[in-house]
């Protein structure tokens, strides 16, 4: 491409020869400069005029970009409405969890006063949204339908309130978990499993004494078994004694706390020592025929504050005993290998 440059006062004419790639380079450079100039003018003049309200320019700019602003506002409103809908759904779920937490708290034995104390101790939910108290059993819920598009500040407040309610719910469930674990530990410390597998030969109560033939109180349960059969602890506790004890023969006593004690009598061998911590189901001795006994068996007692209790009532809470296996002493006297003792 040739470009001729002439001037009235000059006798000669200048010519410039541009190759195609030079022409394209010049065109692109001019286009880029034009775009940069237009962008600079738009951002630093027109937008500033629109924000600061310049008399004439701002009006012209708003007329030009009105559609853009309206589209942006509509997009923001739609997003805020969608976020508000999600927040409403989250609020409904939190309310449902609160109701579940209240029911579970009742099942765990947590009193309403404890939950009120937890609220008063610093529940941020009540501080975030003070409102009229609602009874615990009152139903709440339903879809969230905003009356108008919320602001970002309102959404922030709602999210903070939900976060506070979630923290409070977490505290409630932590308390429930702790209480349930306490109950589980209590159950582990209560005699609830049979110390020897098999039926019961002689039950708790009055019977004919096998040695003198007189009526006497039988203070435990007799479990007929072969010599050497393992005896397991009916609950967790601390071994109080493991030694010969008169008519009980070689016996083991386990203290379960709160005045509750179990005794395992007529054993042939003791597997634990006094002061040793034993767990529920742990083997602590072997069945024998020591002391005041007519044959190999385990005499099992449960004592509360030193007073003998019916062990069957405790064992029924764990591994249930066969009702037909608890026989009267008269019915068991005919059994050739059914040992009985004190």
Query: If you average pLDDT over residues 16-30, what whole number do you get?
Result: 79
Contact 264, 300 (CB under 8 A): yes
Token reading at 223 = 């479990």
pLDDT band at 227 (very low <50, low <70, confident <90, very high): very high
Q: How confident is the model at residue 256 (pLDDT cuts 50, 70, 90)?
A: very high
**pLDDT bucket at 262, cuts 50 / 70 / 90:** very high
- In terms of Cα–Cα distance, which of 267, 235, 268, 269 is closest to 254? 235
Q: Rounded mean pLDDT of 208-233?
A: 91
pLDDT of residue 187: 66
d(CA 5, CA 14): 5
Helices (DSSP H) in the chain: which residue ranges?
A: 20-41, 47-52, 57-107, 112-120, 124-128, 152-188, 311-315, 329-332
Provide CB contacts within 8 A for 157, sequence distance 6+: 128, 129
More confident residue, 276 or 55: 276
Helix or strand holding residue 268 (H, E): strand 260-270
| CB of 272 closer than 8 Å to CB of 285 | yes
Q: How many Å from the N-terminal Cα to the C-terminal Cα in the chain?
A: 127
CA-nearest of 254, 319, 321 to 284 is 254
More confident residue, 173 or 184: 173
What pLDDT is recorded for position 326? 37
Average pLDDT value for the chain: 76
pLDDT-wise least confident of 28-42, 198-212, 277-291, 309-323: 309-323
pLDDT at residue 47, as a whole number: 65
pLDDT digits (tens, 9 = 90+) for 56-115: 566 666 666 666 667 777 777 778 778 888 888 888 888 877 777 777 777 777 766 666
| Separation of CA 133 from chain center | 27
CA angle, 58 then 61 then 65, to 5° = 135
Helix or strand run (H / E) with residue 134 = none
Do residues 176 and 104 lie in contact, with contact meaning Cβ atoms separated by under 8 Å? yes
Q: Is the pLDDT of residue 40 over 60?
A: yes
Q: What is the CA radius of gyration of the chain?
A: 44
Q: Which two tokens mark 255?
A: 């203290």
What was the pLDDT predicted at 60?
65
What's the confidence (pLDDT) of residue 255? 95
Tell me: the pLDDT tens digits for 132-163?
Answer: 444 555 555 554 445 556 677 777 788 888 88
Round to whole Å and give the CA distance between 161 and 155.
10
Using alpha carbons, list the distances in angstroms from residue 63 to 40, 60, 70, 105, 207. 19, 5, 11, 62, 107
Percent of the chain predicted with pLDDT > 70: 65
Higher pLDDT, 337 or 278: 278
pLDDT at position 273, please? Answer: 95
Residue 277: the pLDDT is 95
Q: Give yes or no for residue 43 having a pLDDT over 60.
A: yes
């Amino acid at each position: 491409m040739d470009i001729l440059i002439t001037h009235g006062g000059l006798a000669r004419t200048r010519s410039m020869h541009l190759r195609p790639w030079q022409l394209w380079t010049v065109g692109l450079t001019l286009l880029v400069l034009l775009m940069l100039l237009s962008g600079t003018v738009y951002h630093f003049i027109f937008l500033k005029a629109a924000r600061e309200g310049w008399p004439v320019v701002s009006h012209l700019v708003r007329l030009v970009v009105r559609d853009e602003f309206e589209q942006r506002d509509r997009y923001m409103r739609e997003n805020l409405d969608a976020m508000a809908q999600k927040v409403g759904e989250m609020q409904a779920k939190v309310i449902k969890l609160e109701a579940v937490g209240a029911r579970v708290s009742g099942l765990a034995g947590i009193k309403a006063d404890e939950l009120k104390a937890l609220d008063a101790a610093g529940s941020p939910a009540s501080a975030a949204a003070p409102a009229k108290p609602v009874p615990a059993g009152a139903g709440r819920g339903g879809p969230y339908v905003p009356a108008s598009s919320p602001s970002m500040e309102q959404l922030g407040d709602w999210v903070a309130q939900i976060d506070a309610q979630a923290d409070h719910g977490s505290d409630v469930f932590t308390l429930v978990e702790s209480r349930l674990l306490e109950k589980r530990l209590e159950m582990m410390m209560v005699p609830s499993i049979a110390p020897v597998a098999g039926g019961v030969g002689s039950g708790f109560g009055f019977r004919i004494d096998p040695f003198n033939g007189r009526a006497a109180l039988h203070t435990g349960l007799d479990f007929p078994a072969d010599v050497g059969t393992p005896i397991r602890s009916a609950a967790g506790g601390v071994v109080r004694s493991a030694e010969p004890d008169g008519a009980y023969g070689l016996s083991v006593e386990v203290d379960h706390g709160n005045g509750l004690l179990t005794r395992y009598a007529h054993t042939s061998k003791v597997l634990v020592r006094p002061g040793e911590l034993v767990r529920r189901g742990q083997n602590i001795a072997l069945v024998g025929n020591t002391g005041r006994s007519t044959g190999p068996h385990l005499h099992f007692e449960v004592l509360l504050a030193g007073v003998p209790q019916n062990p069957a009532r405790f064992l029924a809470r764990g591994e249930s005993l066969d009702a037909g296996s608890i026989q009267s002493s008269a019915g068991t006297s005919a059994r050739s290998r059914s040992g009985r003792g004190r």
